Structure 1
Amino acid sequence: MNSPTTFTPVGQDELDWLGTDPVPTRPYYDPEWFELEREAVFRRSWQQIGHVCELPENGSFIRRELEVLGASLLITRGKDGEVRAFHNVCTHRGTILVDEEAGKRSTFSCPYHMWTFGLDGGLISAPDFEAFHVTKAECALPQVACEVVGGLIFVHFGKPESSLREWLGPYANKLEMMPVARATTFSEYVYDINANWKLTYDNFQENYHLRFIHPSAAGPVTSPDNPFAYPTAYDFHGPHRSQRIWTKPDMDPPTGVQAMAFQRGAVCAMSDGILGTETAKDYLGLFPNFFLFGSPMQHFSHTVYPIAADKSRGVIRLYWIGEDETPSERFAREYFMATARDVHTEDRAVIERGHKGLASGALEYLHFQTQESLCRHLFNMVSERVEAYRAEKEGVPA
């Protein structure tokens, strides 16, 4: 995707293959549809759940809860340096092994009967084990498929049909060109929202709402050529999608506090050799629920975790390379997180209003325009998988 110096709107005829009909509203609020998504989408897709900077040393671990599948995961870096993922349950009686969110250990012992496991998931010891009539190999922690691309950790609860890299296709290379691939730390903001995960996610993959919900943020980047700051290009690969974010060629330089933050941020990005990279304007939407913006100075990801048909949890991260070495660098990073949270605060109420309206059943269909093509693509990808799962359960040939 090349970024033009002048804006040419993406025409509807270029996106007609996605469809133009109204979209049924039921998948955005119906509990029965949500139950189908659990199995058809989330048990059968690679899901992003962390970053390797959270596992800096052999013996490091993190715990992740994925409510959509009722799962607790234990992700470890073994003595051999490999990153692995396991169900966080003792194989004796199913007791949750680890309560801490993160830490460093050489072993994990169940608090119930002291069965002890290694970083590779193997059972090391268990009191009176000879009375169980099984082998230690049979009692290893249940492993979950786990792979890393661009520093990002992904897991798959089923049997992957392809490797993570194959599944991501050309987006794997893009991830490895972005700052996230070299990130050593991050700032994080977690929020719960009373809205369906797709409705929440869709808000962040269209710019149609910018001039109404974020006028202060949209104003500086608009121009006569592109008065609504629409993206300059869209791209699709399998279930994934991306867009090239518009940058105003003659944008006014920031002033005041913002100027101080941008100046410090630019210095850091230049010292890391990442300012001006070809992915700096790319927004990558990875199926089903993760996106990443490539800007070196505000390099953020957003994962929307489903909890119920009407509730989601979002995790927003700003990734950084290196620790804060000076007060001004700390200020720049805090400023960028503050501005991200300010913008997001403007979104949350309107997302919940949208869910409440759809869940009332008042509308049978909703409508997407050209600038909401990424929303339509996500709907299509989810629907395809749900319908295929239904057919499979009913024994209908593909």
Structure 2
Amino acid sequence: MNDVASTFKRIPAEDLAWLGTNPVPTKPYYDPAYFELERQSVFLKSWIHVAHLCEVPEPGSFIRCDLEFARASLLIVRGRDDRVRAFHNVCPHRGTQLVDEAAGRQSKFSCPYHMWTFGTDGALLSAPDFDAFHVDKADCSLVSVRLEECGGLLFVNFDQDSPPLRDWLGAYAERLEQMPVARATTFAQYSYDIAANWKLTYDNFQENYHLRFIHPRSGGAGIGGDNQFGYPATMGFEGPHRTQRIWSNPAPDLKPFQRAAAMRGIPPLAEQGLLDLPYGRDYLAFFPNLFLIGTPTQPFSHTVYPISADRSRGVVRVYWVGEDRDASHRFAREYSVAQIRDIHCEDIAMIERGQNGLASGALKHMHFQSMEALCRHLFNEVDSRVQEHARKMGDVL
């Protein structure tokens, strides 16, 4: 896209002052008690990204999704009626997990313990000597979890009272549906475990203030000229969600093979109409833990799942439409994934150093500047929910 001016103008601080300017308390980034309230009030009551439609392309296709924050293993399956559903990966007989495989395709699911067998719609089909249980089959179906889709992405919600997904996403639902991820038929994925709080991990990817110092070699496309810190061109907020438009360096310091990798992927993108999609330089952050970037050459999502107060897991996916068409196209895709992974690897150690420093208790507060507004917005949204939940529970933070 060419709509980002080459002359950078910093977003005025007064335009972001409504988010607050005070120091932010550090305890929410390492305290187990705060994490437990956060788990209850944020993650068990929000729409959480877990998969993509292309992972369950035909009836019987399934994936297993383990979510530590919910203490749950989920079975996501496309039924014979073509509907995609989510169930707890738990046999209602004695609680045995049904599926060990990460993914596959099958017409039914049998518990390995006592062979209770379920259809792809979760209904109990058969169970040995079932008459001895004095219960109806209809009361022994797999336990379902709310699952909805937008822009090809699948989200689950453990709260029956939460609004539907599209209401939750608000105006960003339409934007999501216009991003390359909505057309994806496959993806490349890598994940990483990190010894850091999920917010501290997520925040690293919400601000560019660090690019100049941590990524001088790999961040050439995002810093330089009159924007030495790679600050965003614009920011926006929609309820608990937020966005920023990534500034594009008009004269990036790219090596010849980097330019070649980018250019070799351009013709297929043009043929698929992906170069003309809006929001190509936009970063969309969906509360609480997902963000996407829609650039056609590297459309990717990054989800940060909490594990404990000081541990989290990041899952990064780069999405593609169609299979590799030739060796050059394959090279462009592989390089795209490698480039993102290399950049993220440069962040991990620094995030963990931050976690170690905060967990020491030496600091009671830390500081966000105006161009770290997305970090402050996330903290505000999380903390407001935690504080409200604590009041209802009679807890004192």
- Fold match by TM threshold 0.5: yes
Counterpart in 2 of 1:96?
97
Is the deviation greater in 298-307 or in 225-234? 225-234
1:83 and 2:84 aligned: yes
1:148-167 matched pairs, under 5 angstroms: 148-167=149-168
For 2:367 and 2:135, locate their aligned partners in 1 and report how far apart those are by CA, in whole Å: 58
| 1:337-361 Cα shifts (integer Å, max 9, x gaps) | 1111110111000000000000000
Change (3 A) 1:372 1:252: closer
* Residue 259 of structure 1: how far off its partner (Å): 2.0
| Aligned 1:205-284 pairs, distance under 5 A | 205-248=206-249, 250-252=250-252, 254-284=254-284
Instruction: Give aligned-pair identity as a percent.
Output: 59
Which amino acid letter does the alignment assign opposite residue 67 of structure 2? Answer: L
Please show how residues 320-335 of structure 1 align to structure 2 within 5 Å.
320-335=320-335
Deviation of 1:328 after TM superposition, in Å, equals: 1.1
Could you tell me which amino acid in structure 2 is paired with residue 195 of structure 1? A
Cα distance, 1:4 vs. partner?
3.8
CA distance in 2, matches of 1:300, 1:25: 30
Q: Deviations over 1:257-316 (max 9, x none)?
A: 112211111122112111142210110110111100010101111011111111111101
What secondary structure is seen at the aligned counterpart in 1 of 2:264? Answer: helix
8 Å CA contact 1:185–1:319 kept in 2: the answer is yes
Deviation at 1:227, TM superposition (A): 2.4
Q: For 1:115, give the aligned amino acid.
A: W
Map 1:237-386 onto structure 2 (within 5 A): 237-248=238-249, 250-252=250-252, 254-386=254-386
What is the root-mean-square deviation of aligned Cα atoms in Å? 1.5
1:11 Cα shift?
1.2
Which residue is 1:47 aligned to?
48
CA contact 2:212–2:223 (8 Å) conserved in 1: no
Q: Distance in 1 between matches of 2:222 and 2:29?
A: 32
- Aligned partner letter, 1:318: V
Whether the 8 Å contact between 1:178 and 1:294 is mirrored in structure 2 is yes
Deviation at 1:395, TM superposition (A): 9.7
Q: 1:19-58, aligned counterparts within 5 Å?
A: 19-58=20-59
SS of the residue corresponding to residue 76 of structure 1 reads: strand
Contact 1:253–1:259, Cα closer than 8 Å, also in 2: no
CA distances 1:11-56 after superposition (whole Å, capped 9, x unpaired): 1111111110000000000011111111111110000000000001
Is the Cα contact below 8 Å between 1:254 and 1:262 reproduced in 2?
Answer: no
Question: Are the aligned partners of 2:220 and 2:254 in contact in 1 as well (CA < 8 Å)?
Answer: no
Deviation at 1:256, TM superposition (A): 2.1
Give the Cα–Cα distance (whole angstroms) in 1 for the partners of residues 216 and 245 of structure 2: 20
Asked whether the equivalents of residues 184 and 322 of structure 1 are also in contact (C-alpha less than 8 Å), the reply is: yes
Give the deviation of 1:229 after TM superposition: 1.5
Residue identity matched to 1:59: G
Q: How many Å separate the matches in 1 of 2:313 and 2:162?
A: 28
TM-score w.r.t. the length of structure 1 is 0.96
CA–CA distance in structure 2, aligned partners of residues 369 and 40 of structure 1: 27
Aligned partners of 1:254 and 1:198: how far apart in 2? 32
Superposition deviation, residue 80 in structure 1: 1.1
Which 5+ residue runs of structure 2 have no aligned equivalent? Answer: none
What letter is aligned with 1:86?
A: F
Q: CA deviation at 1:101?
A: 0.4
Give the drift of 1:330. 0.9
* Cα 1:160–1:225 shift into 2, 3 Å: farther
CA distance in 1 between counterparts of 2:262 and 2:161 reads 42
1:255 shift after superposition? 4.3
| AA aligned opposite 1:138 | D
Task: Report deviation, 1:392.
Answer: 1.8
Secondary structure, counterpart of 2:175 in structure 1: helix
SS at match of 1:341: helix
Q: How many residue pairs are counted as aligned between the two chains?
A: 394
Once the two structures are TM-superposed, the CA of residue 5 in structure 1 deviates from its matched residue by: 4.5
Superposed CA deviations along residues 146-169 of structure 1, whole A, max 9, x for unmatched, are 000000000001114311011101
1:122 aligns with 2:123: yes
Quickly say closer, same or farther: Cα 1:135–1:395, change in 2 above 3 A.
farther
> CA 1:379/1:395 → structure 2, altered by over 3 Å: closer, same or farther?
closer
CA distance in 2, matches of 1:28, 1:245: 27
Equivalent-residue separation in structure 1 for 2:6 and 2:277 (angstroms): 16
One-letter identity of the residue aligned with 1:224: G
Alignment partners' CA distance in 2, 1:255 and 1:369: 33
Equivalents in 1 of 2:348, 2:222: separation in Å? 22
Whole-angstrom distance in 2 between the partners of 1:384 and 1:129: 49
Shift of 1:253: 7.9
CA drift of 1:7 comes to 1.8
Task: Label 1:94 to 1:191 Cα distance change in 2 as closer, same or farther (>3 A).
Answer: same
Q: What are the residue-to-residue correspondences of 1:129-148 with 2, within 5 Å?
A: 129-148=130-149
Q: TM-score, normalised on structure 2?
A: 0.97
